[in-house]
Chains A and B, each alone.
Chain A
Amino acid sequence: MVDSTYFDQFDDELRTMHELMDDGSIGLTDESLRVPISTLNLKPAVVVQSGTPVEDCIGTMVARHFGCLLVVEDEQVCGIFTERDALLRLVEHANAFEKLTINDIMTPDPASLSATDTLETALKTMNQGGYRHLAVVDSLNKPTAVLSVKDIVSYIIDFFPEDVLNLPPHPLRLGTKHQHGA
C-alpha cells in the first residue's frame, strides 16, 4: 500500500515545477542545444541506390510522405534529393523523365552530420545552407538517419508543452468579430 504522503510529495513537486515554469526559470537554454542530435527522436533515412530511376524515387517519396531521400553508393551517402530539388530540377522535364536516374537530379555530396554532433551545430548548418534536411552518417559515411527541421521543432516544443500543445483550437481574439475559417 502506498503512503498518502507519497502523493503529497508528488503534488508539492508538481506545484513547484509549475511555479518555476510560470516565472520562466525552466525553458530552453543554450545547454538544451548542446545535446547530441542522437538525443532527438530521429527518423531512419529513406535510402535509394545510386542509379535508381527517378520515377521510382518520386513514387517512394509521395507514398511515404517523405520530403527527402538519401542516395547511396556502396552503402555510403553520395547524394540527397528533396522536394525543393524536384521543384527546381524536375519540373522542366515534365513527363519525360523516364530515362533519368536519381543521380541526374540529386544534390551530390550533401552536408551531413554525425550522431554525436550537437543540435547547435545542426541548427547552424541548416541556417547557413538553407537546408530543411541533413543526412546523419556514421564514421564510414553510411546513413543512419535524417534530421529534419520538424524534428528540431518537436524537440523544442517538448520544453513548452503548456504553451504550445495545450492551446485552444483558435487564438482568442478579443475585440474582433472576425470568424476563423473565412
Chain B
Amino acid sequence: MDSVTLRAPLHTLEPKVPVCVTKGTKISDVIGIMKDNRIGCVCIVEDDLLIGIFTERDVLSKVIGSSLDTDETFVEDLMTNDPEYLYDDDQIAFALNRMHVGGFRHIPLIDLAGRPTGIISVRDILAYMTRSLAENN
C-alpha cells in the first residue's frame, strides 16, 4: 500500500448511510435507535442539515451514572455541536488525520448543502487498508 491509496476519495470506502435524528429527539429514543441499529454514532439534523453528533462515548460519560431523566432530556442538550465533517470527495488521508489528531472514531460526511450523506468509522478505514494490502501483494 502506498501513499496513493491514502489520496483516494472517501467515497472509495463506500461509507455507511448515517442514522440521523432530528433536534428535539429524546435521549431515551436516541439510545434505543443506537441499540437497535447496533451503531456507535448518530447524526443530529435540523432542517436536514447536520448540526451535531452523539456517540456511545457520550452515552457513557453524560448519561450513565448521571441523574438526568432520559425521557426529559433532548439530544441537542448532550450532543457535540458542529462536529468535524468531510465531503465524500475529500481524501482518505484527511479522515485519518482527523481521527489521529482529534481522536475521533467517526467522521460524518456531508454534501455541499450541509446534509449528512455518510459516516466513516475508524474500522472502515482499517478494513479498507487491509483490503488494499491484500490486493497489492
Contact = CB atoms under 8 A, between A and B. Distances in A.
Interface of A: 21, 24-30, 33, 55, 58-59, 61-62, 67, 83-84, 86-88, 90-91, 94-95, 123, 126-127, 130, 132, 149-150, 152-154, 156-157, 160, 162-165, 167, 171, 173, 176, 178, 181-182
Given A84-B56, A123-B130, A160 B93 contact: yes
A87 B34 CA distance: 8
B13 interface: no
Interface in B65-120: 65-67, 70, 82, 86-87, 90-91, 93-94, 96-97, 99-101, 103, 105, 110, 112, 114
A84 B40 contact: yes
Given A86-B56, A87-B31, A87-B34, A94 B70 contact: yes
Interface of B: 1-7, 31, 34-35, 40, 49, 56-57, 59-61, 63-67, 70, 82, 86-87, 90-91, 93-94, 96-97, 99-101, 103, 105, 110, 112, 114, 122-123, 125-127, 129-130, 133, 137
Given A83-B57, A87-B59, A58 B65 contact: yes
Among A25, A55, A150, A173, chain B packs the most CB atoms within 10 A around the CB of A150
B contact face: mostly helix, strand, loop, or mixed: helix
A163 B93 CA distance: 6
